[in-house]
Structures are given as C-alpha cells and as structure tokens.
Amino acid sequence: MNNAMRAYSALGRREIWEHKSFWIVPAVIGCLGILFTLYGSGALLVAAHQGMININGDINITGVDHIQVVRAFIFGSAAFFNTVMLFMVWFYLMDSLYADRKDRSVLFWKSMPVSDTSTVLSKLFTGMVTAPALMLAAVIVTEIITGILFIIALSFAGVDILPLVFQPGTIIVAWFTLAFALIVQSLWLLPFFGWFLLCSAWARKLVLAWAVLIPLGAMLVERLFIGTHYLSNAIFSHLAKLFTLVMSGHYSVNGVSIGPGIVIDGKPDTFASHGALMTLGSLARVFAQPEMWIGIAIGAIFVFGAIWLRRNRSEI
Amino acid sequence: MSMVVQARGLSKSYGSLRALDKVDFDIEEGRIVGLIGPNGAGKTTALKAILGLTNFEGDLDVLGHDPRISRRQLMQDVCFIADVATLPRWLKVADAIDFVEAVHPRFSRERARHFLERTKISQKSKVGQLSKGMVTQLHLALIMAIDAKLLVLDEPTIGLDILYRKEFYSNLLNDYFDEKRTILVTTHQVEEVEKLLTHLMFINNGKIVLEDSMEGVAEKYSEVLVTADKVNAAQALNPINEREIFGKKLFLFEGIERDKLAALGDIHTPSIADLFVAKMQGAVQ
C-alpha cells in the first residue's frame, strides 16, 4: 500500500473506531432476525410434530414467480437494516464535523498532515460507502442463516422448498443489485448528506436544529412571501422518490410511473405488479434522471462549503 | 542558521479587536522560544496563524510554507500540542499509534513505544480511561516520535500536577530537543520554562514588546536591591520598575551597564516573571 492509500484507509478506520455502531447495530439487527427465525422455525417444527400441519401431495404455489419470492426475501429483509442505517448515517454526518470541535480534539486532528478536504471526504465516504457496506455484509450473513433455517424447518414440516429457492444465480445477482442500490441510494441522498456536513461544519451548537430549521424556514418564507412551494416539493418529492424510484425500480416519464421495463397491454406496468422490485437495469436508469444529477451537483456544492468552513473558520 | 518562522506585518482582527497589530518577528532554527503575554494579548492568535488554523493579514513564512495555503505539507514538519486533553476520549492508545503512523511520514512507532514504556499507559486503554497527566504523556510520546522541525506548545501543562509538569519539560529537553529542532512555547507558568528557554518574546495588546535571547535579557536587564540611602541615586537612572522588599527597594533597569549599578547594591538578573510584570506595567503607563 502506498502512503496516500495508507493515510486514506486510516482516515476511514478512524471513523469506525469512533462510531462502532456502524457494525454493531447491523450485527444486532441480524442476530435478532436470526433469533426470530429460530423461534418461528421452532414453532413450525412443533406444529408439524404435533400433526397440526398436514400436507398431502405436492404444494403448488401458483400465481407467484418463485424467483421473485427469492428476490423479495433478499430485498425485503434488507429494508429494516437500511432504514436504521440511514438514520445512523444522518446523525453521524451531523455530528462528524461538530463533535471534534466541541471536545477540542479538532486541534489534535489538525496537527496531523491531513488536508481538510481529505478529512471531510473521509466522513462523507464513511456515510456513503462504509456504513452501507457494513450493513450489506450483515444483511448477507443474516439472509444466509435465516434462509437455511427456513428451508430446514419447512423440510421437517414436509415441504421441500430447496429446489424452488436455491437459485445461486438469482441470489448472487440479487445481492449485487442490493449493493448497487445502496450506491444509487447514497448518490440520490447526496444533497441531504452534503447539507448535514455543511451544518455540522458550521453550527456552534444544535446541529440538528439548524439542519432542520433552515430548510423549514426557507419553505415557510417561500410560501408566505412568494406564495409558491417549489422548495418543499423538491425536498419531499426527492425523498419520496427514494422509495418509488430507487427501491422499487419505478421511474417516471412525463409524470407516468413506469416499472422496470415491463409493459403490459402496451401500457406501463403499475406499482402493484410483481415487476415492482428493483433490478440492476431499473437502478441504472436512475442515472438517466436529470434529478439525480441536479441532486449530486447541489450535494457537491454543500460538501465544498463544508470543506471551506472546516479550513477557514478560525474559532473552534 | 536557517529561519523557521518569519512574520512581517502580521495582523489579525476579531471585529474591532486587534489581536495582532502589524507584528514582525523571526524564529531561527535550534531555539526554544517562550511567547509570554497576558490573556488576550494575541499569543494564541499568533500560534494559530503559524499553524494554519486561522486567516490573517501580512506575510508569514513557516519553513517555506504559507500556513494559510499548505497546512497539510506544513504539518509534516510542524507538531503541536494545544493544552491538555485534546486527544479524543474514545481513541484507543494502540489505535492512536496506528493512526499517526499511517498519516505521518515522519512518525516512528519504535520511538513512540519506547516513550510509552516509561509510563504506566497500556496500549489497550482508551484515552477517556487515562488521567489528565497520562493523556499528556501519551500526546507527548506521539509528538516526540515525530521527527519534526518545529514543535509548538500552547499551555501544554495547564491543569497538570507538579510531577507531570516537571517530567513533561525534562522529557522534551532530554529526549527531543537538539540543535536541528525549534520549540515555540506559550505558558502562564513562566517559572517552569525559565531555565529551558533560549529566547524570549513578550506580547501585549497585539504587539511584541520584547524579543531577545536569554543572554541578551541578562545583559540588558538588571535587578538591584538598593538600601534606603541610595534610592534617589537609583531613581535618577530611570528604572523601569521599582518595588519594596524587606524594607529595601528593588529596582529593575533596562540598558544600564552593570558597572554603574554595582555601587547601588546587589545586582541580579531579573526573573522572567518580574521582567514580565515590569514590561506589562510599563506598557500600561
């Protein structure tokens, strides 16, 4: 490893030393998931043993694409991890350039030959890449264990779903899709991340209050004095689209929501159909949305602002 | 002798307050310079300017760098300890060593370990578990393991008990300082650094009021204990300060040859603290 890489990796590890919750919380959620699955499987086994479940002949799951079920399991069990991770990242970013000013350790960090740009970007990288990566690792391990538990429990109950769900290709592609989705999600949320960093570098106290009150105040001013609500629309619809556009694979053309390339009867697929799960293709199409790039540009401006403040504010 | 710090017309204002007012000074290699001044005199502002922690007007050259522009490069050659306990509480000792080793090209893990072995600090401890004195020991061990050219200390021993304070400076002098290194220190506890310094700088109201070597100070300033009958003769020589001690008068003279003073009484070199008081009172008058 050359010197620069060593320094960057140390900056990255430093964040995880300080914020161990980025791996502890996903690990705890994973363990809870496994415990619940164990309990569920146990209950199933007991029920099967007592003859409460009686299956004669083959089970036919009709009307459901079992590959979609596998993918739904993989994406669905990641959803809770993701929600918790996003909250952790938001609070982390708001704290990241503030906590060391508050406890004065910024004087130690600044006594090292590390540029303010590297410092700020290491915090952004932790929120955008490291935290999702740690979460993904926990998700994959949890899914493997809970999946195996389910299959074993069902097999004792007389249902052999292994041939149906053991689709290594599908599973691996789904995990890749999940990883890609986390990257798209981070980029989609960059304006929010950048804003939190900016507030964190700027506020003397109460970062959270400033981070929330400034946009809220701007919305109020717009509504009261100009009579429009472009800002609130932009912010809330950008957040909402994280779910419709990134996570479900829907995107919108001329205001019409479109599924991942599935066209039924010449009309775009609806949200409720089975096509609503994200795919690599649907995620790639997010990059074709101007809103993605506008968001990234705004986020970049905020990040530059945070770097400038980190370098130039003389009072701690 | 090469120049480590060169300031020309260094100024900094906070609103209407001139923290530094067109200050010029030089710090040469191999010196231990004490920057002494009352609270709010501009000491910390001067240090911050040197370390690239604040903007300023005027010219400032630190080891060939403008600290405003190239703090990162500068920090390869400059270390600083800004009062005690700026190490974050969550940091583990072993991780602190790993971190500094990874980001600092001039850090030696062996040296850091060598210094830490003399303390009771365990590599597994977190900073938050250490006493204040131990945190300073750790910080000093990390800094002394860096082969830097300039070390800046801003009230490094404030809040420490006397044992740690003594040890801090003796470590610095015995294990760190040599003619290739330069140390700039600010402190309120002047007596502690008195024997350490090679040069002295007094700052008051944003201006440098004294800048000299310790030998220069000893030559220029004399303290004379004068008996009552010679007080008038002493006053005629324009002392910069006078005070009473055990019924006798103690006069501080600036720039008067010792031969002339010998007739008045016992001559000493004033302590930094007494000189400081005299200079600051002079500034007020």
Question: Given B85, B91, B105, which is nearest A17 (Cβ)?
Answer: B91
Residue ranges per domain, chain B? 3-205, 216-284
Distance from CA of B30 to the nearest CA of A (A): 21
CA distances from A43 to A33, A143, A153, B11 (A): 15, 19, 9, 76
Contact B221, B202 (CB under 8 A): no
| A113–B73 CB contact, under 8 Å | yes
Tokens of B24: 């010029």
| B80–A111 CB contact, under 8 Å | yes
| A115–B80 CB contact, under 8 Å | no
Which of A37, B220, A65 has its CA nearest to residue B211?
A: B220
The b-or-e profile of A123-146 (16+ CB within 10 A means b, else e) is: bbbbbbebbbbbbbebbbebbebb
Q: Given this structure, which CATH class describes domain B3-205?
A: alpha beta
**Residues in chain B, total:** 285
- pLDDT score of A8: 93
Task: Tell me whether A204 touches chain B (CB under 8 Å).
Answer: no
Question: Given A105, A114, A118, which is nearest B88 (Cβ)?
Answer: A105
| B90–A17 CB contact, under 8 Å | yes
From chain A residues 83-102, the ones with a CB under 8 A of any chain B CB are 100
- Name the 3-class secondary structure at B20: strand
User: For helices A230-241 and A290-312, what crossing angle results, to 10°?
Assistant: 110
Distance from CA of B18 to the nearest CA of A (A): 15
| B80–A107 CB contact, under 8 Å | yes
Tokens 């909250």, residue located: A87
Q: Calculate mean pLDDT across residues B170-193.
A: 85
| Whole-number percent of chain B with pLDDT over 70 | 98
Contact A215, A235 (CB under 8 A): yes
For the cut 70, the answer to whether the pLDDT of residue B125 exceeds it is yes
All residues of chain A having their beta carbon less than 8 Å from the beta carbon of residue B89 are 103
| Whole-number percent of chain A with pLDDT over 70 | 84
Residue B245 burial (C-beta neighbours within 10 Å; 0-12, 13-18, 19+): exposed
Q: Calculate mean pLDDT across residues B127-139.
A: 89
- pLDDT score of B161: 81
Would you tell me how many other CB atoms lie within 10 Å of the CB of residue B107?
A: 22
Question: pLDDT grade, residue B55 (50/70/90)?
Answer: confident
Question: pLDDT grade, residue A56 (50/70/90)?
Answer: low
**How many domains is chain A built from?**
1
Residue B150 burial (C-beta neighbours within 10 Å; 0-12, 13-18, 19+): buried
Question: Comparing A305 with B209, which gets the higher pLDDT?
Answer: A305
Cα(A253)–Cα(A233) distance, rounded to whole angstroms? 18
| B103–A10 CB contact, under 8 Å | yes
Q: Calculate mean pLDDT across residues A221-250.
A: 81
Residue-wise pLDDT for B26-51, tens only, equals 999 999 999 988 887 788 888 989 99
- pLDDT score of A70: 82
Cα(A100)–Cα(A122) distance, rounded to whole angstroms? 14
| A113–B95 CB contact, under 8 Å | no
Cα(B142)–Cα(B135) distance, rounded to whole angstroms? 11
**CA of B153: which chain A residue's CA is closest?**
A111
According to the per-residue pLDDT averaged within each range, which of A141-155, A178-192, A239-253, B203-217 is highest?
A178-192
Cα(A290)–Cα(A306) distance, rounded to whole angstroms? 24
Tokens 């995107």, residue located: A251
The C-alpha angle with vertex A302 and arms to A300 and A308, in degrees rounded to 5, equals 105
What element of type H or E holds B201? Answer: strand B199-204
Cα(A13)–Cα(A281) distance, rounded to whole angstroms? 33
**CA of A105: which chain B residue's CA is closest?**
B86
| Whole-number percent of chain A with pLDDT over 90 | 43
Residue A18 burial (C-beta neighbours within 10 Å; 0-12, 13-18, 19+): buried
| A18–B72 CB contact, under 8 Å | no
Q: Calculate mean pLDDT across residues A267-293.
A: 71
Measured in whole angstroms, the distance separating CA A175 from the mean position of its chain's CA atoms is 13
Tokens of A273: 């159909």
Which of B64, B63, B14, B61 has its CA nearest to residue B40?
A: B14
Interface test with A, best of B103, B106, B143, B186 (most A CBs within 10 A): B103
Alpha helices per DSSP H over A50-161: 66-96, 99-102, 106-109, 116-125, 131-156
Question: pLDDT grade, residue A314 (50/70/90)?
Answer: low
- Domain holding A277, by residue range, is 3-54+61-312
Residue-wise pLDDT for B77-123, tens only, equals 999 888 756 899 999 999 999 999 999 999 999 999 999 998 889 99
Mean pLDDT of chain B: 86
Cα(B21)–Cα(B270) distance, rounded to whole angstroms? 28
Q: Calculate mean pLDDT across residues B167-192.
A: 85
- pLDDT score of A249: 57
Task: Tell me whether A24 touches chain B (CB under 8 Å).
Answer: no
| B71–A311 CB contact, under 8 Å | yes
- Name the 3-class secondary structure at A62: coil
| A113–B76 CB contact, under 8 Å | yes
Q: Calculate mean pLDDT across residues A60-75.
A: 73
For the cut 70, the answer to whether the pLDDT of residue A63 exceeds it is no
Q: Calculate mean pLDDT across residues B245-253.
A: 81
